[in-house]
Structure 1
């Protein structure tokens, strides 16, 4: 089996390779095709990949490509992990909004919109090229903002596309650790949008233990949410970490303005990781990579691809077309929910009704995502302004106007229409 990684110059690539080495039985990969537009990063990560595979006794051959067609040709899976503009663009995404007293974050708020504006056109072109070379491969999208990108690809008519995020897998392991059980005994009633989700039930061997967790272990559950234990108890659900950007927006902004943003830390981690990858003595995933983010990424990705390959009907938490799963959203929305996987399709499971506290915010952000996608595909200052005005973390016309000018000025190199 051939597996292609687009954006293989990413420091995340050893995470996937580590999973292949640790779990060779999950996926019989015989060729790992690495693609990147940067030959320097590609060569560095390819050398690291070959050392890891050799040290782990994995037989896969590694090929490198700067052209998409040969990279994608013959692959069963094409995993895409791009960051248009690299870490410098992320730093802009997280610092510019702070000048307007708004959240500085790479996938939501104004920073998330800037990332979508740069990323969606590139992803549409990448998948168009992949499809020309390989009409049947499954495209697994790990490129943020995953929900908007996946919706763009599906809206453009690309089937066999699924969005993936590791957040649910992180919660699965978090709950398993608190309960002292193996993670595969835990299933989640996970609902919402990418980076806007809640765990409504935590099923241990089919029994909902969330009430017990919130009653007895809230102090251990809450740190993964970034919110106080008392609030998590009051909610009666476990919100993802990204919800603390909404529920404690002003506190987060004040902290960022005082202490700096995550992008600054990540840039230093990236520098250290690349130095370690360049060291020929390093043959395994560095411990430092765990601080980079994307925990459980390899397990989530390999589990999904194994199910798609086998058509085993297992359930995974994925970003998929809504259809009628959440009836208060348009059918073409992309939601993040449990879905059944076969060789040919991913089908979201029927969902219990969503309470208004959750549904209202989900619907609000879905509206923003639709406007963000229109701005990313069609361009135009007014479309960018409308998307910012619609976002629940912005919502004021003067702030949206100023942010529009800041984002467009900072991203002109990536937005031909911005002049």
Structure 2
């Protein structure tokens, strides 16, 4: 049959309506015959709610895209052309633990950085690799487009432990480009940024407006107090002289590394006043799903952009469209480095601007990262590499090593204490660590 088959694992996500909107918008170029939304039985209510909204959206748009709901991943994957993954192993309850437990030890509690990022990776990577095994059997030529966090670590794992073609996606570069456009008072389509680094550790090396370099102008505006952040990261501003010295554009997540003590104070304050970010998101999701249940609703509601991950799904649609149509446009994605960033191993995952072709993304070479940021990026890459091996092997000592070398964790003793408490807290989702005796 003509047309494309796409499978979205984690189809009951609150982000799915954005995905549907993106596919509808591109239908003339991207003729999707079947879109399978797959979830676990525990997510039945959410999947059915989102699935019903998706069907209303497709009906309103009058596109012949069949929406299928399933709790059987293998049934859905057979013959797929593209598979997108947007899973949260342990749901938001697990995220709350990732954010809360580190704070007890005076350490940043955040879902993709520091201890929280490690444990999200330990839970997520085995599940993604199981999906890859099914894909190797049922749709070996399909592309895996992953935007499950921590996306860089997940991409690293798939590149090292699977034969499946994969690309990792993040909304941070999109948010940065849109933020810069707002700072300049122009349409985002006129702004181009050369991105390089790692997921949630990416820098804008050069900024262009209509092809003309405006990096210094943008940094001046940023250092004067302009906002460049995300819904889930508080904007504490930047020290003007620091930004002038750095001379490249930091991403919002760099605040955890360059403003650690202030961010920790802010998290502790937020915990007292509002609870963890996971609890805030639970309230947002509850509101969204109440909206989704309205049988009259047949569009993506604007409230979805209040989620920290807004624009993820649109990025996925753009990427799939560009691969399918060999567009050769430039998009920042997570891929195998292949020498694009000289100071990172060639076989490691990086987040970098790429030319998107029918054969996948081709990283654009940037040479060495500036010496001022190179060490931090290399340290985080070391953390990711060790974390991936801990996730795959269930090696307790590797988990402690990964925790200790993360720059947000102050000592080996605290690293061990956090690992021990978080292993116990997430025991149900970390079977690889409990098949052997933990010493």
TM-score band (shorter)?
A: over 0.9
**TM alignment of 1:42-57, pairs within 5 A:** 42-57=47-62
Residue ranges of structure 2 left out of the alignment (5+ in a row):
435-439
Residue 222 of structure 1 contacts residue 228 of structure 1 at CA under 8 Å; is this kept in 2? no
Structure-2 residue corresponding to 1:383: 398
1:194 corresponds to 2:199: yes
1:237 aligned to 2:237? no
Per-residue deviation at 1:343?
1.2
* Alpha-carbon separation, structure 2, partners of 1:218 and 1:83: 36
Relative distance call for 1:102 and 1:47 in structure 2 (3 A) is same
Please state whether the residue corresponding to 1:224 is helix, strand or coil: coil
How far is 1:216 from its partner?
4.6
| 3-state SS of 2:372 partner | helix
Judge conservation of contact 2:133–2:162 (CA < 8 Å) in 1. Answer: no
Secondary structure class of the residue paired with 1:290: helix
Q: Say which of 250, 268, 285 aligns to 2:300.
A: 285
Find the aligned partners of 2:28 and 2:245 in 1 and give their Cα distance. Answer: 43
Q: How many angstroms apart in 2 are the aligned matches of 1:11 and 1:98?
A: 27
Partners of 2:243 and 2:297 in 1: CA distance: 42
> Which residue of structure 2 lines up, in the alignment, with residue 311 of structure 1?
326
Q: Secondary structure at the residue paired with 1:239? A: coil
Q: How does 1:44-123 map to 2 (within 5 A)?
A: 44-123=49-128
Aligned pairs for 1:136-155 within 5 A: 136-155=141-160
SS in 1 for 2:32: coil
1-side partners of 2:162 and 2:417: how far apart?
35
Residue 257, structure 1, aligned to residue 268, structure 2: yes
CA distance in 1, matches of 2:227, 2:293: 38
> Are the structure 2 counterparts of residues 61 and 362 from structure 1 closer, same or farther at C-alpha, using a change threshold of 3 Å?
same
- Looking at structure 1, the residues matched to 82 and 72 of structure 2 have their Cα atoms a distance apart, in angstroms, of 17
| TM-score of the two chains, using structure 1 as the length reference | 0.95
CA shift, 1:296, in A, is 2.1
Q: Say whether the 8 Å CA contact 2:57–2:298 is kept in structure 1.
A: yes
**2:315 — aligned with what?**
300
For residue 46 of structure 1, report the CA deviation from its aligned partner. Answer: 0.8
Is the contact made by 1:35 and 1:71 (CA closer than 8 Å) also made in structure 2? yes
1:21 aligns with 2:31: no
Deviates more, 1:245-254 or 1:88-97: 245-254
* Whole-Å separation in 2 of the counterparts to 1:417 and 1:127: 17
2:176 equivalent to 1:161: no
What's the CA shift string for 1:188-245, capped at 9, x where partnerless?
Answer: 1111100001111111222111112223564464442833261433422221110001
Deviation sequence 1:361-416 (CA, Å, 0-9, x none):
00000111111111100013211111111101114011111111111111111112
Residues 26 and 303, structure 1, Cα contact 8 Å, conserved in 2:
no
Contact 1:163 1:320 in 2 (8 A): yes
Residue range with higher mean Cα deviation, 112-121 or 257-266: 257-266
> For the residues of structure 1 that align with 2:256 and 2:65, how far apart are their CA atoms?
42
2:186 pairs with 175, 181, 205, which one?
A: 181
- Correspondent of 2:39 among 36, 41, 61: 36
Cα distance in structure 2, aligned partners of 1:144 and 1:215: 32
**What is the DSSP-based 3-state SS (H/G/I as helix, E as strand, rest coil) of the residue aligned with 1:33?**
strand
> Offset of 1:66 from its aligned partner?
1.4
Go from structure 1 to structure 2 and tell me whether the alpha carbon gap of 1:373 and 1:217 turns closer, same or farther (over 3 Å shift). Answer: closer
- Cα RMSD between the aligned structures? 1.7
For 1:168 and 1:371, how far apart are their aligned partners in 2? 25
Deviates more, 1:151-160 or 1:383-392: 151-160
For the residues of structure 2 that align with 1:239 and 1:138, how far apart are their CA atoms? 30
Q: Does 1:402 align with 2:417?
A: yes
1:248 counterpart = 2:259: yes
Counterpart for residue 336 of structure 2 = 321
The match for 2:369 is 354
Look up the SS of the partner of 1:44 in the other structure: helix
CA distance in 2, matches of 1:90, 1:77: 28
* 2:8 equivalent to 1:5: yes
Per-residue Cα deviation, 1:267-320 (whole angstroms, up to 9, x for no partner): 111111122212212222122211112222233111111110011222211101
Per the TM alignment, residue 151 of structure 1 is displaced from its structure 2 partner at its CA by 1.0
Q: Which moved more, 1:18-27 or 1:200-209?
A: 18-27
Counterpart contact for 1:178–1:220, Cα < 8 Å: no
Cα distance change on mapping 1:67 and 1:347 into 2, 3 Å: same
